[in-house]
Chain A
Amino acid sequence: MTVSETLLELDHVHKVYRTGAFGGGRKRAVRDVNLTVRAGEVVSLIGESGSGKSTIGKMVLGLTSVSEGQIRYEGTDVSTIKGFKARKEYYRHVQGVFQDPFSCFNPIFKADRVFEMVRQSYAPDTSQEEWREKVLSSLDTVRLDPGNVLNKYPHQLSGGQLQRMLIARALLLDIKVLVADEIISMLDASTRIDVLNLLVDLKERGLGILFVTHDLSLGNYVSDTSVILHKGAVAEMGPTQRVFENPLHPYSRHLLSCVPQLHQTWAEVDAELAANPPEDVTLPTVPEGEYTAPLLEAEAGHFVGIDQT
């Protein structure tokens, strides 16, 4: 494997939300997360609801502030990017696509208006002609037929088409990092795989992708690195294949045994686990009152985190 350029780095990142009627309570949604996204790599953030996976995506996109720690994009601390111009420059390289494609479009305008809006704010000097070329090539990348999607209203298009248009919109900019937050979950089985394959294509073009999902089989299909989050902290992190073949953290094992599979029933999975109980791993511990979440390297590149049960 060639060592490629590190695009995004999360360095001991925490997020603490205020909770309760007067904001007196504190909720640590993300706890001491370290991870990197390289060019040409898909990193999956996998977790159940409340695991902090979407919060991490939001912090990367600057939609919510970082409480402690640093998120660095190409070495620059993201929280120091201030001012309209600088932020715009950041968004030229880092873009997000979200869960519900239907709510991302204004129903009273044609769907391709999103492309024109990108032109107005990011490339006002480009001529109509040139821009049209760009839109067409970007639609080609996401494998949409321009005749089918241009000049249509959002309700005339399917969820999969809209979702791919949003990705095409992001591609109009010179993006290097794409945060894909549950982009598959609203789509039908027959179109899901097309969007997943598209992510693989983008990865091969050298994009770094942060793929946020709750569905382990999807994470497994596209990603190079998998990060399993539990209660805001990393439970397990490593090369996807190792994490799924040899889950070390009790939480990841539990999660994997609950995934409905196509050729194995839950009972069979349980029986198999009982027949060959996996070896226990010593998990790192944290002293009472500290909010760090150290990782232990169990095998090369494969880390386990603290136990929070």
Chain B
Amino acid sequence: MTLRVKDLKVYYQTLRGDVHALDGVTFDLEDGEIMGLAGESGCGKSTLGKSLIRLDSRMRHVGGSIELDGKDVPIADDDAMVPLRYHEISLIPQYAMSALNPTRKIGRLVTELLRARGVRPGDIEDELKRRLELVGLSTDVLNRFPIELSGGMKQRVVMVISTLLNPSLLIADEVTSALDVSTQRSVAESLVEFRDREYVRSMVFVTHDISLVYQMADTIMVMYAGRIAEKAPVKTIIDAPRHPYTQMLISALPEVGSTSTEERLEGIPGKPPGLLNPPTGCRFKDRCPMAFDKCAEQPPLLEIEPGHWAACWKTGE
């Protein structure tokens, strides 16, 4: 078991009160698992990704625990997190393209980063070059400035740098959203390759694109309004989702081959609740066609079949 998150609560502090961005999130991530984390904007998926590595000044850890390889991850204690960052838990940021310092050549940037983390750059130079070649870049990029690289190249450089110390957990936050389809495919495939070669043990892949997750992930976790709606192996989520939100989300996706003349797809009416004063009970109940009296109570996240978790009163039937 690599990662175990239990009842994690992280709130944003604002002048008008706390925003309950993560409100009791519980899940496990196996060794070698790539988990796609999907949901609408504002559902807390990026907050979850960030909470696993660093809370920024507005974020407050309210409750719950995170365990990585049997050890507690002290996310509320910023200093205690320092030894874990980059070594054990690493991140590819959402705007990887702008994560590179424009005034440094890539090589120097890597050297400085490694020194700051207490690693001798010389020890790792060969590995760095090998991995750059693996993702289809020449070692020549080390002598270039970020501006000289294309978007896809920058993304791959950041990917190699982030995983250089073989972290246990990699958080990839919307890493392919800004890329063209063909570059997107090669970046996604390289990420899977990194897992297969055990450069990273497990991965949380945050995205809003469910069809992309289907291509590369082992499991998908769908979040809604700060809570988990459903988590299951990829095939199950796509072919037999049990939570009404997942069902509606999947059926709202146009595919290559589906046209408006054959069949009109339907969106989900309404919008997600605000998280400043989240509603009680099931948070999807106002948009849910299956809602009934019991939804006034919060449904627990239950394992309805092995590896398939869902939080809905209707799935038990």
Residues of A near any B CB (own CB < 8 A): 48-49, 158-160, 188-194, 196-197, 200, 214, 216-218, 220-222, 240-241, 244, 254-256, 258-263, 265-266
Which one of B110-118, B177-185, B307-315 contacts A?
B177-185
Which one of B5-13, B80-88, B139-147, B253-261 contacts A?
B253-261
Most chain A CB atoms below 10 A, which of B182, B212, B215: B215
The answer to whether B209 touches A192, judged by C-beta atoms less than 8 angstroms apart, is no
With A193-B265, A197-B260, A241-B259: A262-B238 Cβ-Cβ less than 8 Å: yes
Tell me the bound Cα distance from A221 to B264 in angstroms.
Answer: 9
Q: What B residues does A255 contact at CB under 8 A?
A: 181-182
| Min C-beta distance of A200 to chain B, whole Å | 5
Q: What A residues does B215 contact at CB under 8 A?
A: 260-261, 265-266
Q: What B residues does A49 contact at CB under 8 A?
A: 151, 180
The answer to whether A258 touches B210, judged by C-beta atoms less than 8 angstroms apart, is no
Q: What B residues does A240 contact at CB under 8 A?
A: 259
Q: What A residues does B184 contact at CB under 8 A?
A: 258, 260
> In the complex, given contacts A189-B40, A222-B260, A262-B211, what are 6 additional A-B residue pairs having Cβ atoms less than 8 angstroms apart?
A48-B180, A200-B264, A217-B255, A258-B184, A260-B215, A261-B214
Tell me the bound Cα distance from A159 to B42 in angstroms.
Answer: 12
With A49-B180, A188-B41, A193-B265: A259-B260 Cβ-Cβ less than 8 Å: no
Of all chain A residues, which has the CB nearest B263?
A221
| Min C-beta distance of A155 to chain B, whole Å | 12
The answer to whether A190 touches B268, judged by C-beta atoms less than 8 angstroms apart, is yes
Of all chain A residues, which has the CB nearest B215?
A260
The answer to whether B214 touches A216, judged by C-beta atoms less than 8 angstroms apart, is no
Tell me the bound Cα distance from A191 to B271 in angstroms.
Answer: 9
Is B75 part of the contact surface with A, judged by Cβ < 8 Å?
Answer: no
Q: What A residues does B268 contact at CB under 8 A?
A: 190-191
| Min C-beta distance of A116 to chain B, whole Å | 25
Of all chain B residues, which has the CB nearest A190?
B268
Tell me the bound Cα distance from A222 to B256 in angstroms.
Answer: 11
The answer to whether A217 touches B266, judged by C-beta atoms less than 8 angstroms apart, is no
Smallest CB-CB A-B distances: 7 pairs: A221-B254, A48-B180, A190-B268, A194-B267, A260-B211, A188-B40, A193-B267
The answer to whether A189 touches B180, judged by C-beta atoms less than 8 angstroms apart, is no
Of all chain B residues, which has the CB nearest A221?
B254
Which one of B19-27, B99-107, B244-252 contacts A?
B244-252
Q: What B residues does A197 contact at CB under 8 A?
A: 260, 264-265, 267
Is B127 part of the contact surface with A, judged by Cβ < 8 Å?
Answer: no
Q: What A residues does B253 contact at CB under 8 A?
A: 189, 193, 217, 262
Q: What B residues does A221 contact at CB under 8 A?
A: 254, 258-260, 265
| Min C-beta distance of B168 to chain A, whole Å | 27
Is B208 part of the contact surface with A, judged by Cβ < 8 Å?
Answer: yes
A–B pairs, 25, beta carbons within 8 Å: A48-B180, A48-B181, A49-B151, A49-B180, A188-B41, A190-B248, A196-B265, A200-B260, A200-B264, A214-B180, A214-B181, A217-B211, A218-B254, A220-B254, A221-B254, A221-B258, A221-B260, A240-B259, A244-B256, A244-B257, A258-B185, A260-B185, A262-B210, A262-B253, A263-B239
Q: What A residues does B208 contact at CB under 8 A?
A: 188-189
Is B189 part of the contact surface with A, judged by Cβ < 8 Å?
Answer: yes
B62-116: which have CB < 8 Å to A?
none
Tell me the bound Cα distance from A192 to B185 in angstroms.
Answer: 22
Of all chain B residues, which has the CB nearest A244?
B256
The answer to whether B210 touches A217, judged by C-beta atoms less than 8 angstroms apart, is no
The answer to whether A254 touches B260, judged by C-beta atoms less than 8 angstroms apart, is no
Tell me the bound Cα distance from A49 to B225 in angstroms.
Answer: 33
Q: What A residues does B181 contact at CB under 8 A?
A: 48, 214, 216, 255, 258-259
| Residue in A190, A200, A218 whose beta carbon sits within 8 Å of that of B40 in the complex | A190
The answer to whether B266 touches A189, judged by C-beta atoms less than 8 angstroms apart, is no
The answer to whether B257 touches A48, judged by C-beta atoms less than 8 angstroms apart, is no
Of all chain B residues, which has the CB nearest A241?
B259
Tell me the bound Cα distance from A261 to B254 in angstroms.
Answer: 10
| Residue in A194, A196, A216, A261 whose beta carbon sits within 8 Å of that of B260 in the complex | A196
The answer to whether A262 touches B214, judged by C-beta atoms less than 8 angstroms apart, is yes
Q: What A residues does B180 contact at CB under 8 A?
A: 48-49, 214
Q: What B residues does A192 contact at CB under 8 A?
A: 252, 254, 267
Of all chain B residues, which has the CB nearest A215?
B181
The answer to whether B256 touches A259, judged by C-beta atoms less than 8 angstroms apart, is yes
| Min C-beta distance of B267 to chain A, whole Å | 4
Tell me the bound Cα distance from A241 to B256 in angstroms.
Answer: 10
| Residue in A159, A191, A194, A262 whose beta carbon sits within 8 Å of that of B255 in the complex | A262
| Min C-beta distance of A219 to chain B, whole Å | 9
